[in-house]
Each structure stands twice: as C-alpha cells, then as structure tokens.
Amino acid sequence: MLRRNMIEQADAETGQLKAGDIILNQQTTVLKNMENQQEVRLSEKELHILELFMMNPDRILTREQLAVKIWGYENEAEYNNVEVYISFTRKKLQFIRSHMEIKAVRGLGYQLRNRLET
C-alpha cells in the first residue's frame, strides 16, 4: 500500500485530516484513533505539527521547516522547541495507541509514518 493512499487531505466540510488509524479534527483539536476510539486533545503547537505532517505525506520535514512554519522564524532556540513539541506529539500518539509515529530520519528531519508498514 502506498503512503499516499494512507493519508487523505483535509475534508473542507468537516475540517478533518486522516492518516492511517488517526483522524485529526482541526476545529476541536482532538486527535482520535479510529480503531479503538481513544481520543486526546492537542495543544495549538501539537495541532500545527500534526497538520504539517498530515498535509505533506511522504515528506521528511526538517527542524528548520517546522520552526519557520510553526513559530514563524528560525533560530537555535526554536530548534529546541521543535524537538520538545515533537516529543509531546509522539506521547499523544502513543497515548491513543496509534500505529502512526513521528520518526526521526537521521541527519534529515522527521516523518510521519505507519510503524506497521516497515
């Protein structure tokens, strides 16, 4: 199965993004595992991180790209914020027992992927 088939673009009417077993409601900031129905509310930064990954399937996003898109500028302090919020977002994915994960790609950045497909 190609990753492009796994990730659906935003549904304009519902404001939702889907990837693998997760659905992200952009209006309520709730992340839900569609298989077990577990939900968790995301912070604004966590929401923006997942939106970027879900709207850019197959792409590796660098710390620099994430810092600029989420915080609006790029500097060393923001790189640390990226790592902190990636960690928070990973914990939320684990909390709802999702198969999706944010994987570090050494020397390049991060990528949203389904851990069952590797």
Q: What confidence tens digit (pLDDT) does each residue in 39-82 have?
A: 999 999 999 999 999 999 889 999 999 999 998 876 666 778 99
Place of tokens 């968790």: 40
For residue 60, what is the DSSP state? Answer: P
For residue 55, what is the DSSP state? Answer: T
pLDDT confidence band for 7 (50 / 70 / 90): very low
pLDDT averaged over every residue in the chain: 88
Containing 24, the helix (H) or strand (E) segment is: strand 22-25
Are the beta carbons of 41 and 87 closer than 8 angstroms? no
Task: Determine the pLDDT at residue 74.
Answer: 66
Residue 115 has pLDDT above 70, yes or no: yes
Domain ranges of the chain: 3-117
Are the beta carbons of 20 and 99 closer than 8 angstroms? yes
Arithmetic mean of pLDDT, 17-44: 97
CATH classification of 3-117, choosing from 1.25.40.90, 2.40.50.100, 1.10.10.10, 1.20.1290.10? Answer: 1.10.10.10
